[in-house]
Chains A and B, each alone.
Chain A
Amino acid sequence: MYIPYLKNASIMAKYKLQINQQTYEVEADPQTPLLWVIRDEVGLTGTKYGCGIAQCGACTVHMNGNPIRSCSIPVAAASTKKITTIEGLSEDQSHPVQKAWVDAQVPQCGYCQSGQIMSAVALLNRKPKPSDDDIDSAMAGNICRCGTYTRIRKAIHNASNDISNGSR
């Protein structure tokens, strides 16, 4: 998202960001991608930089519950929204999707996995029993160079079963 009226703005502005149910006060150029504010100003480094053009999904976070690419949202557009990052899923890796990811031994290098998990959580929130096609369309925006795709698919199905069985 590009905000034209801010085109030549170079002044720093103050923002109150709602991240993981906490309020963070930050100062940043309004055009700064939310990604860098989350990582470098707030200090939550679980959200990753992969491409900067919303093509790889490594920077996926939830904004008001929807998965968005934080590399392509200026901080100015995020200041009134509720943001959830990978760190906000659970304190102890106990979110059913995190558990399913470990059970299926999904990550290898792991760099893309915060984004993968955030996309998967959003999918399951929207569609608790996703089909393979649902998984394809919800997860196709997230690239994994280690090629963990078959395990991701399996983990999402397992998490879906765990959630519907109430065993979270």
Chain B
Amino acid sequence: MLAVGFDSLAMTLGDDPIVKAMMAEDFVEGTAINPFVIISEKGPITIMATIPELGQGINQGIPAIIAEELEVDLDEVNIVKSSASRKYGAQSIGGSRNTRMLYAPMRKLGASIKEVMVQAAANRWGVSASDCEAKSGKVYQKGTQKSLSYGELVREAAKLDMPENPSLKAKKDFKIIGKPMPRPDLGLKVSGQADYGMDAQPEGLLYATVERCPTLQGGLKSYDKDAAMAVPGVVKVMTVTRNVYGNENIGVAVIAENYFAATQGRKKLNVQWDNAEFTKVSSESIREEMLKLADEDGYEHVEKGNFNQSQVDGSGQIEALYELPYLSHTCMEPMNATVHVKTDGTCEVWAPSQRPQLQRQFAKELGIAESEAEDKIKVHMPYLGGGFGRRSMNDSLIECFQISKEMKKPVKLIWSREDDTTQGPFRQQTMHHMKAIFGQDGKPIGLQHKMISQAITTQGRPSRNRLPFEVMEGINTHYDIDNISSRFVEYTGQVPIHWWRSVFGSTNGFAHEGFIDEVAIQANEDPLQFRIDRLKSEPRFIKVLERLKKESNWEQKLLDNEGKGMAIVESFGSIVAHAVFLKKENGKVSMPKVVSVVDCGTYINPNQVEAQLESSIIYGLTAAMKDPITIKDGAAVQANFDKYRMLRINEAPRAVEVHIIENDENPGGMGEPGLPPIAPALTNAVYDLVGKRIRTLPFDLQKI
């Protein structure tokens, strides 16, 4: 199969000096049966990849679903990266939702096209459609040698009405879905040819960098424009506005002929900020405020039985406070944007974004009618050097747009790594007040998880006095304990937070599954068996746990210098359990192995299920063991990889074993669900190894 990326192409039309922006779609030959599938009479079949590719293989995943029902071989299909356009429906990516949401409609889309191909062939042969069948891009007349390719049929097929309810294949007949497929974009990615947003290089490009207020909020008092302008190569200094959840933050942009000159100019700005009132916040002050909230009732998530009564009835209890810090998303490709608002009123954008459909927003700013927005504003969708939720905020694109609109020149705005790390928005800092009540037999009769945090969806707007939908992800209230209470106390703070890979699953999962481990130990039960015995109402959980028990050799006795821990979390429609194995040798703790079991329902490509689990494990281990974002005097302390350290190859688990549960359930998410259970599996293993309970992340594995 082929991946085609020609996002940087432009074409001059005759003597017309205006260079028309050409998008990948413009080069595809053939009849567009619909926006997603283009079939050439000469043969090639093109399927558009319309969802931003941030490493998760979605550029192949969605076309594979179409190809399955269309009855074409994936290696004979051109997969072409699309631009942003409403003709492709919603193109945003996040919440591990795209495969889940597109699975059914894309199957139907592929099946409908196949049916009109079959009908067109039947018409040509004067037989009934039921006498024909489609295979590998051709329609055959059953019992004969006759066949016609889709290319030969496309003209007639395009005139037929698309069936509303085409028949779909049985899962047992799948040739593509569920089978391992090599990704089409990796050749580009091992040779430096994949086009990221950072790589956009339109003719006459200028480079911009922006100095922003370190306290994330604050007014602009003064800056030395002349000093910056005096740096050779600097062509302009101007202010830009960045809207973060309702706060309009002003920054000072330095624009130059090359990026180095822009950074040198920025150093000369000497910006004075009016931000005294925002310098009082620190991680400690936030913690103090959250601590005060830990005893409040908050909003109900789940109340089963009567937890308060169980506190009265019980004969023992354990109580714990779990805490997690703010974190930066830290995509390998720092935030950036390239925008060209042209003198003729049109606009071309290179959008490394998880929400690339920017046309209507920019059209409003440019005075372009909504009906003309997509004609006049072209948005390229480059490969994304990571997303992790951060790129669902288009702040860098909007800053860059302001600069190009002012200058009418192509401008690339590059956030430095320091900008990217310190400017947020961050993963939420949270506190979890956990309680378990035990009966006379020493077994748990009550469990409460009270979570204290900001919510993402209530920032910059008045409280709606109800539980925000996103905050309780990953809290498993299925445990067979008579009295369960799950509650949320909202903390409103000024540090902006944003969707971060697995969002609240990443924080809730750690506290909940860490504490369940404590409860199991207190009840004198094996932590894995404790879960099997108390999740009987959830057969999918049981299957995952039983499989983990087997694949990890859970019951095998370990040496004294070895430890094991496990955790299971359902999030984004999938259930993942990890078992982490630790070993202490010569005073050094290593992680020889992580065994993972996932039930993500029907999956498209098992290779990508494995890859996403490996990825979530490393991302989650970094969050658990490396650095927090600490707020001091209102600003983030950690700015670059020297202080905001990432897990490296020498610290990674030597082996990650992934086992996938086979079933016929609907697809679950895969980009995030592997993350929530890794931190508790790790800290539970630490407890098993040295008897120390880790309740605050991050922690240093070498100092346990």
Q: Which of B190, B260, B416, B646 contacts A32 (CB 8 A)?
A: B260
CB contact under 8 A between A109 and B384, given known A56-B641, A102-B186, A143-B648: yes
Once the chains are docked, how many angstroms separate the CA of A51 from the CA of B416? Answer: 7
Binds A, one of B468-476, B535-543, B572-580, B613-621: B613-621
Q: From A28, A45, A87, A93, name the one whose CB has the most chain B CB atoms within 10 angstroms.
A: A45
Interface residues of B in 40-78 (CB under 8 A from A): 54-57
Q: Could you tell me the distance between the alpha carbons of A143 and B647 in the complex, rounded to whole angstroms?
A: 8
Choose from B264, B607, B615, B642 the contact partner of A148 (Cβ within 8 Å).
Answer: B615
Chain A window 113-128, contacts with chain B (Cβ cutoff 8 Å), 1 for yes, 0 for no: 1100100000000000
Contact status of A146 and B198, CB under 8 A, knowing A28-B260, A109-B332: no
| Nearest-CB residue, chain B, relative to A112 | B332
Fill in one digit per residue for B603-630: 1 if any A CB lies within 8 Å of its CB, else 0.
Answer: 0000100010011111100000000000
Q: Is A147 in contact with B617, judged by CB distance below 8 angstroms?
A: yes
A108's partner among B56, B195, B650 (CB-CB below 8 A) is: B56
The yes or no answer to B649 lying at the interface (CB within 8 A) is: yes
- How far is A93 from B192 in the complex, measured between Cα atoms in Å? 10
Contact with A along B653-671 (1 / 0, CB 8 A): 1111000000000000000
- The reply to whether B186 and A105 contact each other, CB–CB distance below 8 Å, is yes
User: Which of B190, B258, B261 lies in contact with A107, CB distance below 8 A?
Assistant: B190
Question: A15 at interface (Cβ–Cβ under 8 A)?
Answer: no
**Residue-wise interface mask of B (391-424) relative to A, using a CB-CB cutoff of 8 A (1 in contact, 0 not):** 0000000000000000000000010110000000
Residues of A within 8 A of B388 (CB): 145
Assuming the contacts A87-B192, A110-B383, A140-B650, asked whether A105 and B615 have C-beta atoms less than 8 A apart, the reply is no
CB of A47 within 8 A of CB of B192, answer yes
A147 touches B652 (CB 8 A): yes
**What is the CA–CA distance of A122 and B334 in the complex, to the nearest angstrom?**
26
Contact between A90 and B615, CB atoms less than 8 A apart: no
**CA of A159 to CA of B308 in the docked complex: distance in angstroms?**
62
Which residues of B are found within 8 Å of A105, using beta-carbon distances?
Answer: 182-183, 186, 607, 611
- Determine whether A55 belongs to the interface, using a CB cutoff of 8 Å to chain B: yes
Measured between beta carbons, the chain A residues less than 8 angstroms from B650 are 136-137, 139-140
User: Contact partner of B232 among A10, A87, A135, CB < 8 A?
Assistant: A10
Residues of chain A within 8 A (CB-CB) of B189 are 107, 110, 113
**Set A28, A52, A108, A111: member contacting B258, Cβ < 8 A:** A28
Residues of A within 8 A of B330 (CB): 145
Contact present for B55 and A102 (CB under 8 Å): no
> In the complex the two chains form, is B611's CB within 8 Å of A108's CB?
yes
Task: Say yes or no: B186 contacts A107, CB within 8 Å.
Answer: yes
Interface string of A33-66 (1 = CB under 8 A from B): 1001001110111111111110110100000000
Q: Contacts A53-B642, A109-B386 known; A140 to B649 CB distance under 8 Å? A: yes
Find chain A residues with CB under 8 A from B261 CB. Answer: 29
Nearest to A107 among chain B residues (CB) is B189
Smallest CB–CB gap between B324 and chain A, Å?
19
State in angstroms the CA–CA spacing of A110 and B641 once bound together. 19
Q: Which of B619, B648, B653 has the most CB of A within 10 A?
A: B648
Q: Do B192 and A44 have beta carbons less than 8 Å apart?
A: yes
- Cross-chain contact of A150 among B57, B207, B640, B655 (Cβ < 8 A): B655
Distance, CA A148 to CA B330, complexed state (A): 16
A73 interface residue per 8 A CB criterion: no
Per DSSP, chain B at the interface is: loop
Cβ-defined contact, B619 with A109, below 8 A? no
Q: Please, how many angstroms separate the alpha-carbon atoms of A151 and B57 in the complex?
A: 16
Chain B residues near A41 (CB, 8 Å)? 258
Of A51, A85, A148, the contact of B417 (CB 8 Å cutoff): A51
Residues in B with CB closer than 8 Å to A136 are 649-650
The closest CB in chain B to the CB of A103 belongs to B182
CB distance from B501 to the nearest CB of A (A): 10
Shortest A158–chain B CB gap in Å is: 13
In the assembled complex, which residues on chain A have CB atoms less than 8 Å from the CB atom of B642? Answer: 53, 55
Which chain B residues border A53 with CB–CB below 8 Å? 417, 640-642
Q: A28-B258, A111-B385 given as contacts; is B185 within 8 A of A147 (CB)?
A: no
Q: A112 CB to closest chain B CB, in angstroms?
A: 5
Interface hub of A113, A135, A136 (most chain B Cβ within 10 A) = A113
Cβ contact within 8 Å between B649 and A149? yes
A153 sits at the interface (CB 8 A)? yes
Asked if A17 CB lies within 8 Å of chain B CBs, one says no
Query: Which residues 583-608 of B sit at the A interface, judged by CB distance below 8 A?
Result: 607
Give the residue name and chain of the A residue nearest to B205 (CB): A40
Closest to B193 in A: A46
In the assembled complex, A144 has its CB within 8 A of some CB on chain B:
yes
| Chain B residues with CB under 8 A of A107 | 55, 185-186, 189-190
The verdict on B199 contacting chain A, using a C-beta distance below 8 Å, is yes
| A26 CB to nearest chain B CB (Å) | 10
* Whole-angstrom distance between the Cβ of B423 and the nearest chain A Cβ: 15
A-side contacts of B305, CB under 8 Å? none
A146 and B646 CA atoms in complex are apart in Å by: 11
Q: For the complex, what is the distance from the CA of A36 to the CA of B199, rounded to whole Å? A: 11
B333 touches A85 (CB 8 A): no
Tell whether, in the assembled complex, residue A111 and residue B333 are in contact, meaning their CB atoms are under 8 Å apart: yes
CB neighbors of B among A64-94 (8 A): 85-87, 89-90, 93
Given contacts A102-B182, A139-B649, contact A46 B191 (CB under 8 A): yes
Taking CB as reference atom, which chain A residue is nearest B613? A147
Inter-chain CA distance A89–B187, complex, in Å, is 13
A146 to chain B, nearest CB (A): 5
Contact at B201–A145, with CB atoms within 8 Å? no
Question: Separation in Å of the A102 CB from the closest CB of chain B?
Answer: 5
**Do B640 and A147 touch (CB < 8 A)?**
no
> Is B196 part of the contact surface with A, judged by Cβ < 8 Å?
yes
The closest CB in chain B to the CB of A119 belongs to B649
B55 and A110 contacting across the interface, CB-CB below 8 Å: yes
Residue of A nearest to B331 (CB): A145
Contact of B191 among A28, A87, A112 (CB under 8 A): A87
Smallest distance from the beta carbon of B368 to chain A beta carbons, Å?
30
CB pair B198 A49 closer than 8 Å: yes
The contact of A102 among B57, B190, B259, B414, by CB within 8 Å, is B190
Chain B residues near A135 (CB, 8 Å)?
649
Q: Does A11 touch B at the CB level, under 8 Å?
A: yes
Min C-beta distance of B299 to chain A, whole Å:
34
Contact call A51/B615, Cβ cutoff below 8 A: no
Give me the 10 closest cross-chain CB pairs, A-B, nearest first.
Answer: A46-B192, A147-B618, A111-B385, A109-B55, A110-B189, A108-B55, A55-B641, A136-B650, A86-B192, A45-B199
23 sampled A-B residue pairs with Cβ under 8 A: A12-B232, A28-B260, A32-B258, A47-B192, A48-B198, A48-B333, A49-B198, A49-B334, A52-B416, A85-B192, A87-B192, A105-B183, A105-B607, A107-B185, A110-B186, A110-B385, A111-B386, A140-B649, A144-B332, A147-B619, A148-B614, A150-B655, A151-B614
| 7 new A-B contacts at CB < 8 Å, known A90-B191, A110-B188, A147-B618 | A47-B192, A93-B187, A111-B386, A113-B190, A132-B654, A145-B332, A146-B615
